Chains A and B, each alone.
Chain A
Amino acid sequence: MTRVWRWLADRWVMGVALLVLGYLSLPIMVVAGLSFNRPSSRLSYDFDEFTLDNWRNPCATSDMCDAVVRSVQIGFIATVVATVVGTLMAFALVRHRFRGRSGINLLIFLPMATPELVMGTSLLALFVSAGVPQGFWTVVIAHVMFCVSFVVVTVKARLAGMDRRLEEAAMDLYASEWQTFRLVTLPLVLPGIVAAALLAFSLSFDDFIITNFNAGTTVTFPMYVWGAAQRGIPPQVNVIGTAMFVIALLLVGVSSLRGRRARRARIMSAVRPNGPS
């Protein structure tokens, strides 16, 4: 009896972890499963018949693929602009002392704290009163706006943790300001910038509320799914969803694998002092 209890005591944390993992991944499993479904009717959410047709032909409904391409375009432009602007802002906020610095630090959090509904409507009001026609570019502007905050916060954290003496050491070793930035500062801050860019892209790609207010006649992927849900979602949506999930999983997997391999290489060379040289 006590052996049973001990067995349980040793494993219950693991059990809870598995349950949570299942809870998190169940919806994704359903989406992945349904991507292989041939529904009997447009409004059917039951698994009726296994098929590979959806995967073979993901663009069955052409407007859906247009929406995906548009979302990727918007996500790409918004990510590049937000990452560049946000990184520069993070440098300014961490490295320089200027009037209004603490005020800006506070303002940075505003887009994160404001309900999207409020941001969406106020942006729309702004575009209308300024006479800007809504469409692709107003969506990009809106996305850049809320992505910048996340980029600034992420890069700032990385930058604040960096030892300034490393840059002093580089300058002391004959590196000019630009070389110091390129050879020391940038490589050390890069993981933060990459993380910020990935975050910005995923935020942009699945934003619905702000986009819906400012898109005019432009249709992004989340808007397409929302519209399609009224009439019955084509199974190809599940293909896109599953594909996005797999791509994200691959990115994470590759980066952790690279990290592990680098660590292992270092450990190996540490064990053998006469190792590769």
Chain B
Amino acid sequence: MIGMGAKLRERDAPAGDLRLANLTKRFGIFTAVDDLSLTIPQGSFFALLGSSGCGKTTTLRMIAGLEEPTSGQVLLGARDVTRLRPYKRPVNTVFQSYALFPHLDVHQNVAFGLRRRGKRSTDDDVMGMLELVQLRDYARHYPAQLSGGQQQRVALVRALVNHPQVLLLDEPLGALDLKLRRQMQIELKRIQTEVGITFVHVTHDQEEAMTMADTVAVMNAGRIEQLGAPAELYEFPATAFVANFLGQSNLLAAEAAGPAGSDVPVTAHGARFSVPADRARSDRGAVYLGVRPEKLHLVGSAAQVPSGHQHVEGVVTDASYVGVSTQYLVRTGWGSEISAFTANSGTGGQHPVGTPVVAHWDPRHAFLLPREPGQDDRTTPLLDEPVGAPS
């Protein structure tokens, strides 16, 4: 009994930050997670964003203790939990497929963790938690009788009821339809603010990561490409991968020759541009000049370009009207296509396909990224509604 008390006290003690130090996981010759180091502050909502196979789920499983790292450490506050079994860690997981116990009803599912820790009366805690997600009336239902959204909420409170120091969410909204997903995003964010537990959320959905998390880490091939607040990542990406994974970017192959004053002059396809020095991730040699499509404005002639703005000329090759905005593809003089989104907020006219246009932008919206020599312009094809579409 004394041991149990000490254990509970330890759990309830202030958690401290979650730290990953040089974490590496290899499966045979495949390196899933490659020398990953990061600190997740206590109480924050942290998102690991990446496409499938980038190592984000493996990272999560190592924090949960379901996977043993090849090398490196997982630290909770000052405590090294790297080699602890999953049931010895003050960490709970919401699984991608929910993994609700099919032979137990909702109440028993939620009480599972409390019972294992020797808590005798679980009813108040469980019913309180079910109240939080409006499932009080479903306590005696079995998982198979619940809808996807209800199962998801049970999986969430089954983890939350234990008051873990860290809650891990493995693509918990992946199986829900779009409308329900949006609803759950808001609900999750609300619950996180309410309980103040550190949330680590793994997802491949950039919009989900950006709307929910305080800090987003973009992962690629087992490494973190960039880490920061959503707006920071979007407005000033660190690599071409981030620039195109998080929303869309027009990346023009350019050459830079070092800063001149507070600006970095660059040459791209024979034309000269410049970017403020504090917007340059690289200021010498092969660079990408990047501008987000919604930061490009289209006008009919060069005379209409506001002073201080920079521009390229081209011809409209495609125009898609999507309600809040119109998305244009413009073929430049050197043959590449760039995309531009214009808000349908004013009375400004449309630019029909085939008309010559001038695309201009404020240099403070542009950014410079390092580029491998030999790589050409990159504009990601339009796949779906971009993040932060003008509205």
Interface on A for B, CB 8 Å cutoff? 163, 165-166, 168-176, 179, 183-184, 187-188, 266, 269-270, 273-277
Are B117 and A269 interface neighbours, CB within 8 A?
no
**CA of A173 to CA of B103, assembled, Å:** 16
The answer to whether the Cβ of B148 comes within 8 Å of any Cβ in the partner chain is: no
Chain A contacts for B153, CB-based, 8 A? none
Q: List 5 A-B contacts (CB under 8 A).
A: A169-B93, A171-B66, A172-B93, A175-B87, A175-B112
CB pair B117 A174 closer than 8 Å: yes
Q: Which residue of B lies closest to A169 (CB)?
A: B99
Which residues of B lie under 8 Å from residue A168 when comparing CB positions? 66, 86, 93, 95, 99
Chain A contact residues, majority secondary structure: helix
Closest Cβ of chain B to A183, distance in Å, is: 8
> Which of chain A's residues have a CB closer than 8 A to the CB of B145?
266, 269-270
B99 touches A163 (CB 8 A): yes
Once the chains are docked, how many angstroms separate the CA of A276 from the CA of B99?
25
Query: Which of B85, B103, B158 is close to A171, meaning CB atoms less than 8 Å apart?
Result: B85
Query: A266 and B99: CB pair below 8 A?
Result: no
Instruction: Mark contacts of B139-172 with chain A using CB atoms, 8 A cut-off: 1 yes-contact digit, 0 otherwise.
Output: 1111011000000000000110010000000000
Using an 8 Å CB-CB cutoff, how does the interface string of B71-99 with A read, 1 for contact, 0 for none?
Answer: 00000000000000111000111010101
Q: A52–B40 Cα gap in the complex (Å)?
A: 82
**Cross-chain contact B92 with A173 (CB below 8 angstroms):** yes
Residue of B nearest to A274 (CB): B137
Which residue of chain A has the shortest Cβ distance to B144 in the bound complex? A266
Among B113, B137, B162, contact of A273 (Cβ-Cβ < 8 Å) = B137
Write the residues of chain B forming the contact surface with A, with a CB cutoff of 8 angstroms.
64-66, 85-87, 91-93, 95, 97, 99-103, 112-113, 116-117, 137-142, 144-145, 158-159, 162
Closest A residue to B161 by beta carbon equals A173
Q: How far is the CA of A229 from the CA of B112 in the complex (A)?
A: 59
Chain B residues whose CB sits within 8 angstroms of the CB of A274 once the complex forms: 137
- Cα distance, A172 to B100, chains bound together (Å): 12
CB nearest to B112 among chain A residues: A173
* B67 nearest CB neighbor, chain A only: A168
In the assembled complex, the CB of B122 is this many whole angstroms from the nearest CB of chain A, namely: 12
Contacts of B86 in A (CB 8 A): 168, 171-172
Q: A172-B86, A175-B116, A270-B145 are in contact. Are A277 and B99 (CB under 8 A)?
A: no
Contacts of A188 in B (CB 8 A): 102-103
**Hey, which chain B residues are within 8 Å of A187, CB to CB?**
103
Residue from B87, B139, B140 in contact with A174 in the complex, judged by beta carbons closer than 8 Å: B87
CA gap between A24 and B329 in the complex, in Å: 74
Report the Cα distance A275→B137, complex, angstroms. Answer: 8
Give the residues in chain B near A266, CB-CB below 8 Å: 141-142, 144-145
Q: Known contacts A187-B103, A188-B103, A269-B145: does B137 contact A172 (CB below 8 Å)?
A: no
B134 nearest CB across to chain A (Å): 11
Determine the distance from Cα of A188 to Cα of B65 in the docked complex, in whole angstroms. 24
What residues of B have a CB within 8 angstroms of the CB of A163 in the complex?
Answer: 97, 99
Q: Which residues of A contact B159 (CB under 8 A)?
A: 172-173
B95 touches A165 (CB 8 A): yes
Contact A171 B99 (CB under 8 A): no
Complex-state Cα separation, A173 to B114, whole angstroms: 8
